[in-house]
Amino acid sequence: MTDVLIVGAGPTGLTLACDLARRGIATRIIDRAPVFAHGSRGKGLSPRSLEVLDDLGVIDRVLAAGVTHLPHRKYQGAEVVAQVDPEAGRVPTPDTPYPTGVLLPQWRVEQILRDRLAEFGLAVESGVELRGFTPHADGVTATVIPHADGVTATVGSHAGGVTATVSAGEIQARYLIGCDGARGIVRRTLGLPLRGSTPDVQLMAVGDMEVDGLDRDAWHQWFGQTGGIMLCPLPGTASFQVQASHELDDDGVPLEPTLQRFQRTFDRVAGVHGVRLHNLTWTSTYRVQIRMVDQLRIGPVFLAGDAAHVHPIAGGLGMNTGIQDAYNLGWKLGLVLTGAAAPELLDTYDQERLPITSWLLDITSQRLDAVLAAIKQTGGGIDAAASTELTQLGLGYPWSRLSPGGDRHPDRPGPGDRAPDAILPSGRLFDLFRGPHFTLLGIGTRAAAAVDTLATTDLIRGHLITTPTTYPNDTLVLVRPDGYIGIIAEATDIHAVTAYLASL
Task: Give the domain CATH number at 55.
Answer: 3.50.50.60
Contacts 24+ apart (CB under 8 A), 144-151: 144/30, 144/168, 144/169, 144/170, 144/171, 147/32, 147/33, 147/34, 148/34
**Where does a domain end: 239, 263, 286?**
286
Give the residue numbers spanning the domain of 134: 2-68+99-195+290-391
Torsion from C-alpha of 214, 215, 216, 221, nearest 10 degrees: -50
The verdict on residue 80 lying in a domain is no
Same domain, 38 and 125: yes
Name 243's bridge partners: 206, 230
- pLDDT score for 315: 82
Q: Is residue 92 part of a domain?
A: no
Pick the closest to residue 413 from 390, 437, 429, 432 (CA basis): 429
Residue 11 lies in a domain: yes
User: Is residue 187 domain-shared with residue 247, that is, in the same domain?
Assistant: no
Q: Which residues of 150-166 are buried (b: 16+ CB within 10 A; e: fewer)?
A: eeebbbbbeeeeeebeb
Point out the domain boundary residue: 286, 302, 320: 286
Closest to 412 (Cα-Cα) out of 356, 355, 477: 477
Residue 323 placed within a domain: yes
**Helices 318-337 and 347-374: angle between axes, nearest 10 degrees:** 170
Asked if 363 and 446 sit in the same domain, the reply is: no
Claim to verify: residue 186 and residue 310 sit in the same structural domain: yes
Asked if the structure places residue 470 within a domain, the reply is: yes
Q: What's 251's domain CATH number?
A: 3.30.70.2450
Q: How far apart are CA 382 and CA 74, in angstroms?
A: 10
**Domain finish residue from 232, 253, 286:** 286
Question: Which pLDDT value is given to residue 159?
Answer: 36
Instruction: Give the amino acid at 48.
Output: R
Does 443 lie in the same domain as 488? yes
pLDDT in tens, the chain (504 residues): 899 999 999 999 999 999 999 999 999 999 999 999 899 999 999 999 999 999 999 999 999 999 999 999 999 999 999 999 999 999 999 999 999 999 999 999 999 999 999 999 999 999 999 999 999 999 999 999 987 643 444 444 333 334 444 557 999 999 999 999 999 999 999 999 999 998 877 789 999 999 999 999 999 999 998 899 999 999 999 999 999 999 999 888 899 999 999 999 999 999 999 999 999 999 999 888 999 999 999 999 999 999 999 998 888 899 999 999 999 999 999 999 999 999 999 999 999 999 999 999 999 999 999 998 999 999 999 999 999 999 999 999 999 999 998 667 878 899 999 999 999 998 999 999 999 999 999 999 999 999 999 987 779 999 999 988 888 889 999 999 999 999 999 999 999 999 999 999
Q: Are residues 277 and 236 in the same domain?
A: yes
271 and 340 belong to one structural domain:
no
Domain count, the chain: 3
Q: Is 83 helix (H, G, I), strand (E, B) or coil?
A: strand
**Phi first, then psi: what are they for 243, rounded to 5°?**
-115, 130
Question: Both 332 and 267 in a single domain?
Answer: no
Q: Are residues 211 and 138 in the same domain?
A: no
Kind of pairing, strands 2-7 and 169-178?
A: parallel
The predicted pLDDT at position 201 comes to 77
> Residue 200's pLDDT is what?
79
Same domain, 60 and 148: yes
d(CA 487, CA 403): 6
Verify that 280 and 308 share a domain, yes or no. no
- The reply to whether 121 and 220 lie within a common domain is no
Structural domain contains residue 417? no
Would 90 be classed as within a structural domain? Answer: no
The count of C-alpha atoms lying within 13 angstroms of the C-alpha of 323, restricted to the half-sphere facing its C-beta, is 25
Q: Residue 153: inside a domain, yes or no? A: yes
pLDDT at residue 406, as a whole number: 66
Q: What is the pLDDT of residue 157?
A: 39
Q: Residue 446 sits in a domain of what CATH number? A: 3.40.30.120
- Helix residue ranges per DSSP H, 11-140: 11-22, 47-55, 59-65, 106-119
Question: What is the CB-side half-sphere exposure of residue 166 using CA atoms within 13 A?
Answer: 29
Supply the pLDDT for residue 226. 85
3 state DSSP class of 175: strand
CB 241 within 8 A of CB 103: no
